[in-house]
């Protein structure tokens, strides 16, 4: 039987850390509603200690979107009492609230950022989890910069915070340093040790995209036993962004032969969610972005267009309908062949063209396509009209 992977969306927290992408309360609630429709299991709605505005937005998401038991609402805290209180006071209105806290485990964080010893940091983490547990039953602990941490100290931390009551352990590749094979192996070791310690605690990963490997690292973690993934819509996030939800989810779905896992995501809501996030945040999606880019389902080569019209499987591994688009797009250019042009004309209602008529129109198409980058439907009408004017 396929294993369920929990999807934790952090578009409203890590995603909102993109410069200029600030959302107001209304926009945050709208996006959270759409994320719920998309079927994510957990929404991280913000970092309430950062400002009154963020606190209010997290509280509004908890009240208005977290009002059913099928979704968990969380927000981020550093491992300090004031932050934890702030998260608690904002998320407690949800039916299923969780406190998420973060504290570094790498030498760089422990020694340079905090100027403390490893034992001191470990104790701060344990005390913070124990305190959070007095407020809520669900507590996630993130070992920041895990990919650059000493493995045995990382494990010592995880084991200790599990004993203190953490219900989810999130292992972040904070600076996108991980490499899929190494990362997968490390997650495999943690999964093994965690299952042997307390198998009710979920193991999660949070991958950044600094070397363009966030999706690959997330998938490697799933293969090696991670139960939960943290992602954002369109992969937005700090610096080069986070693992893109749509890429991870569609990879799992398309390559079920490798992963044998499933998510609760309603993939048909992917495009709606992508467009809403892009427009509210004012961040265009790169045209060739996997799954949600404008060109992800557009085909322009004549050879590909001909193949697709014979069998879509020839050049399509993800069907646009599965992510909520109507159809694939055949872009008519000078490289398009007769098959694609005939298909486009038929879609416009020109279904009874004789062979001579079609050849004449195709000639007109080639002339225009040579002069212009793309030929659109309205151009085809003009070409047909022009042909009949000259031949009647």
The binding site for Mn(2+) consists of 14, 206, 208, 242
- Among residues 21, 7, 16, which one has the least CA distance to residue 247? 7
Alpha helices in the chain (DSSP H): 25-38, 52-64, 81-91, 107, 118-135, 151-164, 180-197, 214-223, 245-254, 256-259, 270-281, 302-310, 338-347, 355-371, 377-391
CA distances from 221 to 120, 161, 187 (A): 29, 21, 6
Q: Output the CA torsion 185→247→148→156 (10° steps).
A: -60
- Among residues 77, 66, 67, which one has the least CA distance to residue 13? 77
Of these, 76, 77, 110, 323, which contacts ligand KIV (CB under 6 A)?
A: 76
**Bridge partners of residue 228, in order along the sequence:** 6, 204
Is there binding between residue 38 and ligand KIV (CB under 6 A)? Answer: no
Residue 148 binds which entry of Zn ion, ligand KIV, none, CB below 5-8 Å type-dependent: none
* Dist. CA 374–CA 330, nearest whole Å: 11
Which residues 234-253 are close enough to bind ligand KIV by CB under 6 A? Answer: none
Is there binding between residue 75 and ligand KIV (CB under 6 A)? Answer: no
Which residues 175-234 are close enough to bind ligand KIV by CB under 6 A? Answer: 206, 208
CB of 42 to ligand KIV, least distance (A): 13
Residue 144 binds which entry of ligand KIV, Zn ion, none, CB below 5-8 Å type-dependent: ligand KIV
Footprint of Zn ion (CB under 5 A): 14
* Dist. CA 188–CA 225, nearest whole Å: 6
CB of 41 to Zn ion, least distance (A): 18
Of these, 96, 106, 174, 204, which contacts ligand KIV (CB under 6 A)?
A: 174
Residue 285 binds which entry of ligand KIV, Zn ion, none, CB below 5-8 Å type-dependent: none
Residue 108 or 382: which CB sits closer to ligand KIV? 108
> Could you tell me the sign of the dihedral formed by the alpha carbons of 67, 72, 73, 78, in that order?
positive
Binding mask 144-163 for ligand KIV (x = CB under 6 A): x-------------------
Return the range that interacts with ligand KIV (CB under 6 A); candidates 110-118, 155-163, 167-175, 345-353: 167-175
Which residues 115-144 are close enough to bind ligand KIV by CB under 6 A? Answer: 142, 144
Of these, 5, 102, 136, 168, which contacts ligand KIV (CB under 6 A)?
A: 102
Tokens, residue 48: 């309430």
Residues that bind ligand KIV (CB under 6 A): 14, 76, 102, 142, 144, 170, 172, 174, 206, 208
């Amino acid at each position: 039987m396929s294993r369920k992977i929990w999807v934790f969306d952090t578009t409203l927290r890590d995603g909102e850390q993109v410069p200029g992408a600030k959302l107001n309360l209304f926009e945050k609630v709208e996006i959270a509603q759409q994320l719920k429709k998309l079927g994510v299991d957990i929404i991280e709605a913000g970092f309430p200690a950062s400002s009154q505005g963020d606190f209010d937005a997290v509280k509004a998401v908890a009240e208005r979107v977290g009002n059913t038991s099928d979704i968990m609402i969380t927000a981020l805290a550093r491992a300090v009492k004031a932050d934890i209180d702030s998260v608690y006071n904002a998320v407690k209105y949800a039916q299923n609230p969780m406190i998420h806290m973060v504290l570094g485990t790498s030498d760089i964080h422990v020694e340079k950022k905090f100027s403390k010893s490893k034992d001191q940091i470990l104790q701060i983490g344990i005390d913070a989890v124990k305190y959070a547990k007095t407020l809520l039953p669900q507590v996630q602990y993130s070992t920041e910069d895990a990919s650059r941490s000493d493995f045995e100290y990382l494990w010592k931390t995880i084991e200790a915070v599990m004993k203190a009551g953490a219900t989810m352990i999130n292992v972040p590749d904070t600076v996108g340093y991980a490499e899929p094979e190494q990362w997968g192996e490390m997650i495999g070791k943690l999964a093994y040790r965690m299952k042997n310690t307390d198998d009710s605690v979920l193991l999660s990963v949070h991958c950044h995209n600094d070397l363009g490997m966030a999706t690959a690292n997330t998938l490697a973690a799933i293969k090696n036993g991670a139960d939960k993934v943290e992602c954002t819509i369109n992969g937005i996030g700090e610096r080069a962004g986070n693992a893109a939800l749509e890429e991870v989810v569609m990879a799992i779905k398309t390559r079920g032969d490798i992963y044998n896992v499933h998510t609760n995501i309603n993939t048909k809501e992917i495009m709606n969610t992508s467009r809403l996030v892009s427009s509210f945040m004012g961040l265009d999606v790169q045209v060739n972005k996997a799954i949600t880019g404008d060109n992800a389902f557009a085909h322009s080569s004549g050879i590909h267009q001909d193949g697709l019209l014979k069998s879509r499987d020839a050049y399509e591994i993800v069907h646009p309908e599965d992510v909520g688009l109507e159809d694939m797009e055949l872009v008519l250019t000078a490289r398009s062949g007769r098959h694609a042009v005939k298909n486009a004309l038929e879609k416009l209602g020109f279904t009874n063209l004789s062979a001579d008529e079609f050849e004449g129109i195709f000639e007109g198409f080639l002339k225009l396509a040579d002069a212009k980058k793309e030929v659109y439907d309205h151009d085809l009408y003009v070409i047909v009209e022009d042909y009949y004017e000259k031949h009647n």
